[in-house]
Each structure stands twice: as C-alpha cells, then as structure tokens.
Amino acid sequence: MNTDATGIAPRDEPAIGGDDRVELPAEARVELAVRTAAASRLTRSSRADRGRWLVAIADALEAHRDELVAIAGEETHLSSARLGGEVTRTANQLRFFAGVIDEGSYLEATIDSPDASLVPPRPSLRRMLRPLGVVGVFAASNFPFAFSVLGGDTASALAAGCPVVVKAHPGHPRLSRRITAIAHEALAAAGGPAAALQLVEGIEAGLALVQHPQVTAVGFTGSTRGGRALFDLAAARPAPIPFYGELGSLNPVVVTRAAVARGEGAAAVASGLAGSFTRDGGQYCTKPGIVFVPERSGFEAALVAALSADAVPAPQRLLTEAIAAAFDRGSVELAERDDVEPVFAGERAADVAAPVVVATSVGAFVAAHETFLEERFGPVTVLVRYSSDEQLTAALGLLEGSLTASIQHAPGEDVTALAEMLEPVAGRLVFNGWPTGVAIAWGQHHGGGWPATTASVHTSVGATAIRRWLAPATWQDAPATVLPPELADGNPLGVPRREDGVLVAPVRSEA
C-alpha cells in the first residue's frame, strides 16, 4: 500500500487535488472511504505489524507536536499546556495498544482437545477473537487529540485489526485533516496500509457511515442527543451493528460530613472540587456535575474561598460558540430557579466562561431530579445539601448511569454502604480523588449505564476497549494449515491461552 491508495486525500492542501472528491455527495464520499478502508486488508495483518504501525503513528504525532498544538489551539481555544499533554497522552495510548496486542491475551485464544466421553461429545475446538471489519468512529470536540482522529477508538480499532473511517468533529476540521495526513505518511513510511484510516466530514457523511452495509460497528463520543440519534440508526439497519456510544455523564460526588469536619479537610475538598469542575472550562465528560454536601458544614464557604483564590485556572474560552451559548443559557436558567441558591458566580467576560455554583436541597432535588440530572457542559456544578443519611440515600437512589461516582471521605471512615449504593450507578468509583483525568491502563474502565453509554458492558478507555472491535470464531477439527498461528500446536507465538480449561501464561523472553 502507498499513500495513493488512501482514497480521500487530506484537505489541508487543496491545491494537490483533494477538492474534486470533497465535492462528491456525502454518500459517495462515505462509499469511497469504506471501500478504500476495506481494501487495506488490515484484518489480515499480523499483530507484530500492527504494533509497529501504531508506534510509528505515535512517533509521528509527537514529532509534529508544535505544529499540531498550534492548529488545535486556534480551533479549540484550549491552552497549549493542556494540548501538549493531550498529544503525549494520545501517543502513549497508541503505544499502549501496541503493547496490548503484543501481549496477546486479548485474543482469548482457547484450545479444547476432543473428548468423546462427554455429553454432548467434544470435537477439537480452537477459538479466538477476530477483527470485525471496517468500523466507524465519531470524534469528540473536547479532546481534539485523545478522543478524535487518532484517539482511543481509532487506536483500539486499528490495534484489533479493523480499518477505521473517522467522522471528523466540525470543531477542529483543519487539525483532523492534518492528523490524518501525518498518520498516512507514518503508515506508508512504516510499510503499513495508509488506506486503513479514512476521514469523512459533515453530518450527512456521519449518517451514511452508520448505515453503510460494510460498516461493522461504530464508536462515538459526544452528546446524549446526537449519540441517541445515531444509536437508533444503527439499531434500525437491516443488519444491526453494535453502537458503542459514550454520551453524557453527571459524575456525582458525595462529600461525607467527616471529610469536611475539620477546617483543613473542608479546604482540601473544596480546592479539589474547584479545580476539577473548572478544569479546561469544565469541558470533560468526567466533570463532577452534582455534589452531595453535608448541610451547614462550612464546605460552601471553603468552596467560595477556593474559587476566589489564584490557584483556580483562569476562565476559559469554550470550545465552540454553540457550547458557550448553551453554557450561558443553561447557567442563567439554573441560577434563576426558585429552588436553588447561588453559591458562586465568577466574573463573566465577553469571550470566556466563568465558574458557576448553585445549591439546592435534597427535597428540591428529589422533586425536580430529571432537570437536575441533565448534563451541563462547562464550568458549572450543583451542590445538593443533605442533612441525614436517610436524605442522602433517597437522593442517591434517583441517580442514573454515570461514567464515575466519587466519595470524599475522612481517612479510615467506613464508606462501604455508600460505595454499595454508588456501585450500580457508575463505571468507575473514585475515593478521595476527582473523576477528571482518565488514566490509560489495563484496569481502566470508562463506561457505565445509560445515559453514560449505549453499551454498558463495554469500555471506551483502557486495554479492554479493544474488545468492542472483535468477534469470536471457533475452528472445529481444523487442519493445521488453516489455523491462525495463535491457535497452532506448540503455541509458536507464545500468547496466553486456555488449554483444556487451564489458563497457560507463557514466560516470554524479552528480545
């Protein structure tokens, strides 16, 4: 494969001839992108090759850091420090998935030898996971690197062996095109199939992508409304496909009375919360949007003090004008409600969004919980004042699925009952920490029940994110010549396998 095979040319240099194709109707552009991606035959590539290609893309991304951060800064208004960190995160994530496929457990390789004495009798069965085929990935606005063209969905899908057609986010079109071009160059230079990564733009293209017969699954990060509309489309196809949507999330926090009983405790928790919900303009899917605080504990004063201090990030210009307008409208509506009290309102300037905190009672929260449980993007959070465990329990019982739930507690305090209450709600339970900041790790989980995701049994961050792009296959009594090497006798590639029910993790010699 070479860069000529990529089909849709990167569009940052229109003079090179990409424009003809851009003028095609959305369905034709998607058709071309999907067919080109499929023709890459990435599904037949080896894990070793894909690992090298992922690392080559990661290296290229970092090599272009300054140029990319500059474009991203213009398009998203996020700070250079934040964007630079995000480039590192994105490159590390690509390398992380290279490691995941090198290790090989993700294949779930399983070998059962024949046993005619069983009921029913068992033939020779060899099973492993295989790539689904071409997948669609919808980029998010708030992470122009880590949840965009080369973000976690793309990295995990390419690692799995699935060619990817990315639907660019309109919030950073130039960056999306430039990153695609860099990835194509890196793949071609490493001898990889550049065609395996395709970029399409525009709402119509997104709709066509979800409905394309050759698309086998979709990953999405974005709003509940948009995600639900696409999920419905995916489910309504003649042949339905999995739609892995990471949608809105409220990320409830419970602050126990003991956590803020001492003055320094209140100050520390308040400072942590102030930093977390305002971070990068509160534009995180893990932003704490609702915080259950003990009534008359002094916590609110500590929070106001923290938000007034210099330590809090400067007010942030939000990603897009639509997001800024929705934030302004939403925070005004919230502050004007009869059942809330203003706690803090930062100084608003023309271009920037300043922090907003309101408080309400458990009674008001229970009465109007559907409104309070709506996700609000931007630096705003709602405190719910509770006076007793009973009140807290009643309120927590109304929570819906969320990516995270956090408990701020005193050292040694027994929070077992609280944790049990929050477990069914959240994909990740955080103790004496803040939900913003999602580590890339084998043990990470970034998911949760509806409306946090459309596919509660899967994750979009962490090693097992790769599982979304794979389906099992079993070979029964197969001749050795047709078996993938990971299922061959003697385990020549040394992957962890289950052999006749026993998990065998081979000791691997490092090269």
The least CB distance from residue 511 to a second copy, in Å, is 17
Q: Which stretch binds a second copy (CB under 8 A): 169-177, 237-245, 299-307, 360-368?
A: 237-245
Binding mask 240-259 for a second copy (x = CB under 8 A): xxx-----------------
191, 263, 397, 472: residue in contact with a second copy (rule CB under 8 A): 472
Nearer to a second copy among residue 245 and residue 315 (C-beta): 245
Helix (H, G, I), strand (E, B), or coil: what is residue 455? coil
Of the pair 77, 126, the CB lying nearest a second copy is at: 126
Site for a second copy in 10-69 (CB under 8 A): none
Angle of CA points 311, 314, 320, to nearest 5°:
145
375 is catalytic: no
Residues in 133-172 that interact with a second copy by CB under 8 A: 133
Pick the piece of the chain touching a second copy (CB under 8 A) from 75-83, 183-191, 360-368, 422-430: 422-430
Site string for a second copy, 103-122 (x = CB under 8 A): x-x--x-xxx-----xxxxx
- When the beta carbons of 15 and 502 are compared against a second copy, the nearer one is 502
Burial of residue 423, with CB atoms counted within 10 A of its CB: 0-12 exposed, 13-18 middle, 19 or more buried: exposed
Residue choice 276, 297, 459, 460 for contact with a second copy (CB under 8 A)? 459
User: Applying CB under 8 A, which part among 174-182, 231-239, 251-259, 270-278 lies near a second copy?
Assistant: 231-239
| Pairing state between β 341-345 and 356-361 | antiparallel
What tokens appear for 292 in the block?
């259950």
Dist. CA 263–CA 298, nearest whole Å: 8
Decide if 183 contacts 198 (C-beta within 8 A).
Answer: no
- Of residues 87-106, those binding a second copy (CB under 8 A): 88-89, 92, 99, 103, 105
Q: What DSSP string runs through 12-57? A: S-GGGTTHHHHTS-HHHHHHHHHHHHHHT-GGGS-HHHHHHHHHHH
Q: Give the Å distances, CA to CA, from 368 to 340, 363, 372.
A: 11, 9, 6
Catalytic status, residue 390? no
Contact string 366-405 vs a second copy (x = CB under 8 A): ----------------------------------xx----
Tell me which of 430, 466, 486, 493 binds a second copy, using CB under 8 A.
430
Is residue 419 at the binding interface for a second copy, with CB under 8 A as the rule? yes
Closer residue to a second copy, CB minimum distance, 15 or 480:
480
Nearest to 59 by CA among 157, 190, 149, 164: 190
363 is an interface residue for a second copy by CB under 8 A: no
**Nearer residue to a second copy within complex by CB, 11 or 279:** 279
| Contact present, 362 and 392 (Cβ < 8 Å) | yes
Secondary structure class of 270 (helix, strand, coil): helix
Find out whether the peptide bond into 120 is cis, omega within 30 degrees of 0.
Answer: yes
**Token pair 């300054």 is at which residue?**
66
The answer to whether the CB of 177 falls within 8 A of the CB of 44 is no
**Binding residues for a second copy restricted to 433-452, rule: CB under 8 A:** 433, 437-445, 447, 449-451
Candidates 481, 489, 492, 509; binder of a second copy (CB under 8 A) is 481
226 in contact with a second copy (CB under 8 A): no
Q: Which is nearer to a second copy, 249 or 360 (CB)?
A: 249
Q: Any idea which residue has 């809330």 for tokens? A: 340
Quote the CA–CA distance of 452 and 271 in Å, as a whole number.
26
511 is a contact residue toward a second copy (CB under 8 A): no
CB–CB of 122/139 below 8 Å?
no
Among 136, 468, 486, 493, binds a second copy (CB under 8 A): 468
Q: Of the residues 246, 300, 375, 486, which is catalytic? A: 246
Name which of 88 and 223 has its Cβ closer to a second copy: 88
* 392 within 8 A of 254, measured Cβ to Cβ: yes
CA distance 501 to 427: 30
Among 278, 316, 402, 454, binds a second copy (CB under 8 A): 454
For a second copy (CB under 8 A), the number of binding residues is 92
Nearer to a second copy, 110 or 360 (CB): 110
Query: Beta-carbon neighbour count of residue 264 at 10 Å?
Result: 9
Distance from C-alpha of 486 to C-alpha of 109, rounded to nearest angstrom:
7
Task: Report the distance separating Cα 440 and Cα 461, nearest Å.
Answer: 7
C-alpha distances out from residue 420 to 181, 391, 410, 414, Å:
48, 16, 17, 12
Determine if 132 is a binding residue for a second copy (CB under 8 A): yes
Q: Least CB distance from residue 441 to a second copy, whole Å?
A: 5
For residues 280-309, which are near a second copy according to CB under 8 A? none
- Strand pairing class (341-345; 402-408): unpaired
Catalytic residues: 246, 285
